[in-house]
Chains A and B, each alone.
Chain A
Amino acid sequence: MSSPNRFGRLLRDPLIHFLLIGVAIYATYGLLDPTAENDDAATITVSQEEIQSINEQWTRLWNRPPTEEELASMLRKHVRTRILYKEALAMGLDRDDQVIERRLAQKVELLSRSLVVPEPPSDEILVAWYTENPDQFRAADTYTLSQVFLDPDRRGDSTGADAAAALGALQAMDRVPEDLSAYGDSGIVGSYYAGRDSTQLSKVFGSGFVNQLVTLEPRRWHGPVLSGYGVHLVYVHQVTKPEPPALADIRAQVEEAWMLEQVEQRSAAFIDELVERYDVVVEATEVPLTVPPVQAGE
């Protein structure tokens, strides 16, 4: 971890002050151990509040207050834990412990998110941002498709061969004939769907089919496309990308997304800045080709 002089440098940094204020706020919310503040090097102070809390815990469990002896025993246990905790810190046992390391890193990351709350954006900023990032607000792509279904419950082992033959015939035609009924089996799914998005199609064909559908090149026959029902031959007539809605109609939603991105970015920038302060040395006998960049949040 860090050397003492590096830590001194950190303490002088305004960002770190900001962070420490945050820690104090968190502590009052009970997310950090508030008792730690009461102790100096060789003194353990048990506050009235802690005693009362121990008292209450006991009372709730046993439906009566503890006797003096019981309370003393609980307090002894409590003090013992606190002392051992301090000793553990002094012995550096908190280091090289992955669980503690990750937990503390997580706390800092959490803090970095909750402390950098951006101001709401101006119209200008929002318009510019929306123009650059329309995709997450666009309705899903829609598909218009024809399909032929070959049912293994009816065709058994010849399903595959039947599908290949029908596909050959349809590909030779290179269009969608008016009547598809001669090529496959109906009864489970329809043969034509107009302007459906992937959510709607997954409700009909299942998610496996849709995962393949979105990769198909339009205006030619494809197969076999498999679903939980059987084999499909698919012709995508058209994929439509809807225009993004007018900003005025979804302003609150866009603003929310912008704010979220700001928080993410500022948190990442903050962590990046911390990372900047360190010289990262990777000791490896096998030479890695590149040192992976340190990711925010790890």
Chain B
Amino acid sequence: MTSVATWARNRKYQASRCALALALAANPLAGSADSLGEPGRDAGGPNPLNNVYFGEQHLHTQNSPDAYAMGTRNTPDDAYRFAKGEAIKKNTSGEMVQKKTPYDWVAITDHAEFMGVFPQLSDPSSALMKKGKDDPIVKKILSGDPKQGQEAFAEIAVQLTQLQPSPLFNDPDIIRGVWKNAVASANKHYEPGKFTTLIGFEWTSIPSNQNLHRNIFFRDDTGPAVPFSAFDSDKPEELWVWMQSQRDAGKQVFSISHNGNLSNGLMFAPRNSEGNPIDLAYAQKRPKYEVATEIIQTKGQSDTHPALSPNDEFAGFEQQYSHLIGTNPPVLGRLNYSYVREALINGVGYQEYLGANPFKLGIVAGADAHTAFSDNEESNYSGVHGLVDATTKTRMSGAAQTAGESAVNFGSPGATGVWAPENTREAIFDGIASRETFGTSGPLIRLRFFGGWDYSKNLVEKDSFVAGAYKGGVPMGQDLPAKPDKAKAPSFAVWALKDPDSGNLDRIQIIKGWYENGYPQEKIYDVAWSDKRKPDPNTGKLPPVGNTVDIKNASYENSIGDNELMTVWTDPDFKPEHHAVYYVRVLEIPTPRWSTYDAKAMGIEPPAGVAATIQERAWSSPIWYTPDPGLVNKAATYPHLNQVSN
């Protein structure tokens, strides 16, 4: 966090009574009322060129049984009010918490399994309280003792992982009532045009502690009569059957997967739930229901892993979380088929191999906080697991806590940007459904990404940039139009603007993945960067932006990096016969990690085992290139896609 006061020093700002002439140098861009990347943002009505709306698509409140067992008593109402910018008392610490920059929209996604059952226990007149007062788990939860709460959570987790709910907690009448209340709360806080609440829940499938979780979202203001839970089925294919039944009943619904990084190779596996290789029907079906995936949240980053992307110098980011989900879960075993980048690349491999892409995923990010608070601001982090990490001291204790992990291994929540004409439930839902979204590690970085065949080199410098980019191509989340005969290679227009409350921008990268001779390939291009740096003439590598972080004082200076980066980039290695996928990663300059802010507050060294400084970042949804079938030479085998044993 750079205070406004230190900003002046950072920028070597000195007030002086200097000559007028200096100030009045004419600027060719002056006069336009809006930001280059967001024309029409401030015009008032729905914007055909879309505005960015930042928000949360993954959040738990006391209605999630694990959150309740962790001591969380903050409600959906608290969650919405916090996201809108109000100061709210965090029950686990007694502290008032408040966002610096409020969100535009929020989806609360409490677990469908045992949803809202435990808050009812605090109401002695509730049916559940009468039914369950002698239940041993109920007793522990009511003890108010964090240790017993943890034990209760452990026992509930066992019921969940073994899919053997006790009838008391899975009582359909109780769950129906809770769901009705959750929907009512979402509707109460929905202010069209100002603040959107999306209706959703989490389907919590964890076969053998391996995470296959999906959040399910609805476009209307009622959602389903009752959520579909892992007790109904823990197989994604059966979730899709249920989603189809909702669509058949006239509902609009999609799902977003998360924590591929904790799936032990299951989330993007080349097999279906029965263990059979993915076939054309599966590849066609999955993207109809699963429109996006979460690239980062408190339990780590799912873009890629250094072992999977050895040439990516920025791959090692927020990956210290090493266990599976649950109680005393084993340590993660498999990396392959767990990460988004590999899935996107295998996706275009399937497109070539089968003729359909099962992993046509937009990119979002989230909190997965079990506190009701989306505290995405790194310097404003107050823990995500109830009593366990509610205070600086408990967060920094280093003790093994949730799922066997130390609290310092959890990252601060991510944030999602959605491009939409207006801030309504329908528009936000449609924006995610059409994948015009991006995820960040927390800061509200603004990011545009377009692809086309004849973008001019100076497109991003013009006032008409965004209108021209939509007109001459597609936004993120879409397929490039068919290649015109005369076109040599696709061009991509990209624009990023920093979060005014966070670090400056270091660089924009375009990550390209493609299939060649039956094998996945990836390459990372630096396409725009700050401070007029020159790539090394021998290696072509861009020098690091530097690091201004004062670790002891948990401060940094925005004296390096830029406010805004933009360019039009043409793929220099384009081969018209290769299926390809492109997405953007924007990096900030290094800033302190939350644990470094906490260390400063306690007057201690930052904890070992996690980075003291991080480069926060944003990832766009991809743009895909599919060749004309006549150009494609299929490989004889696709070892990453069709081997069954793994």
Known: A30-B142, A183-B24. Is A230-B563 also a contact (CB below 8 A)?
yes
Q: Does A125 contact B (CB under 8 A)?
A: no
Q: Does B378 contact A (CB under 8 A)?
A: no
Q: Bound complex: CA of A179 vs CA of B136, how far in Å?
A: 73
Cβ distance B172 to chain A, nearest Cβ, rounded Å: 26
Given A169-B24, A203-B101, A231 and B139 touching (CB < 8 A)? no
- Assuming the A-B contacts A189-B35, A207-B501, are A224 and B144 also in contact, with contact meaning beta carbons closer than 8 angstroms in the complex? no
Q: Check A53 against B29 for contact (C-beta < 8 Å).
A: no
A206 to B444 Cα, complex, angstroms:
10
Contact partners of A264 in chain B: CB under 8 A? none
- State in angstroms the CA–CA spacing of A226 and B13 once bound together: 10
CB <8 Å contact, B26 and A206 = no
Encoded as 1 (CB less than 8 Å from any A CB) or 0, chain B from 14 to 35 comes to: 1111111111111101111111
Report the separation of the CA atoms of residues A163 and B20 in the bound assembly, to the nearest whole angstrom: 9
With contacts A53-B136, A60-B155 taken as known, whether A186 is within 8 angstroms of B29 at the C-beta atoms is: yes
Q: Does the CB pair A207–B100 fall under 8 Å?
A: yes
Chain A residue, CB-CB nearest to B33: A190
Does B164 sit within 8 A of A, measured CB to CB?
Answer: no
Contact A164 B16 (CB under 8 A): yes
A187 and B35 contact, CB distance less than 8 A? yes
Q: Is A164 within 8 A of B502, CB to CB?
A: no
Contacts of A160 in B (CB 8 A): 8, 11-16
Contacts known (A153-B563, A185-B30, A202-B100); A165 close to B500, Cβ less than 8 A: no
Q: Which of B12, B16, B30 contacts A181 (CB 8 A)?
A: B30
Partner of A206, one of B32, B33, B101: B101
| Segment from A74-82, A93-101, A191-199, A242-250 that makes contact with B | A191-199
Docked Cα-Cα span, A157 to B12, in Å, equals 6
Asked if B4 and A185 sit within 8 Å, CB to CB, the answer is: no
Number of B interface residues, CB 8 Å?
57
Residues of A within 8 A of B19 (CB): 165
Q: Is the CB of A161 within 8 A of B14?
A: yes
Cα(A181)–Cα(B24), bound, Å: 9
Most interface-central of A53, A162, A205, A231 (chain B CB within 10 A): A162
**Count of chain A residues with Cβ under 8 Å from any Cβ of B?**
55
A152 interface contact, C-beta 8 A: yes
> Is A199's CB under 8 angstroms from B102's CB?
yes
The contact of B8 among A151, A168, A226, by CB within 8 Å, is A226
List the B side residues contacting A287 at CB < 8 Å. Answer: none
Check if A190 sits within 8 Å of B16, measured CB to CB: no
With a cutoff of 8 Å between Cβ atoms, the chain B residues found around residue A163 in the complex are: 13, 15, 23
User: Are B13 and A231 interface neighbours, CB within 8 A?
Assistant: yes
- For B25, the chain A residues whose CB sits under 8 A away are 162
Q: Which residue of B lies closest to A170 (CB)?
A: B23
Which one of A1-9, A208-216, A272-280 is at the B interface? A208-216
Ordered by A's residue number, 19 sampled pairs between the chains whose C-beta atoms are within 8 Å are A31-B142, A53-B139, A56-B136, A160-B12, A160-B14, A162-B18, A162-B23, A162-B25, A163-B23, A164-B23, A184-B30, A186-B27, A187-B35, A188-B36, A206-B501, A212-B4, A226-B7, A226-B8, A229-B563
Shortest beta-carbon contacts, A-B, top 5? A206-B500, A181-B30, A228-B500, A165-B23, A161-B18
- Interfacial residues, chain B to chain A (CB-CB below 8 A): 2-4, 7-8, 11-27, 29-36, 42, 54, 84-85, 100-102, 104, 136, 139, 142-144, 151, 155, 444, 497-502, 530, 558, 562-564
Q: Which residues of A contact B (CB under 8 A)?
A: 29-31, 53, 56, 60, 150-154, 157-166, 168-169, 179-193, 199, 202-203, 205-209, 211-212, 224, 226-231
Given A160-B16, A191-B33, output 15 extra A-B contacts at Cβ < 8 Å.
A56-B136, A60-B155, A160-B14, A160-B15, A161-B14, A165-B24, A181-B30, A185-B30, A188-B497, A190-B35, A190-B42, A203-B54, A203-B102, A208-B4, A228-B502
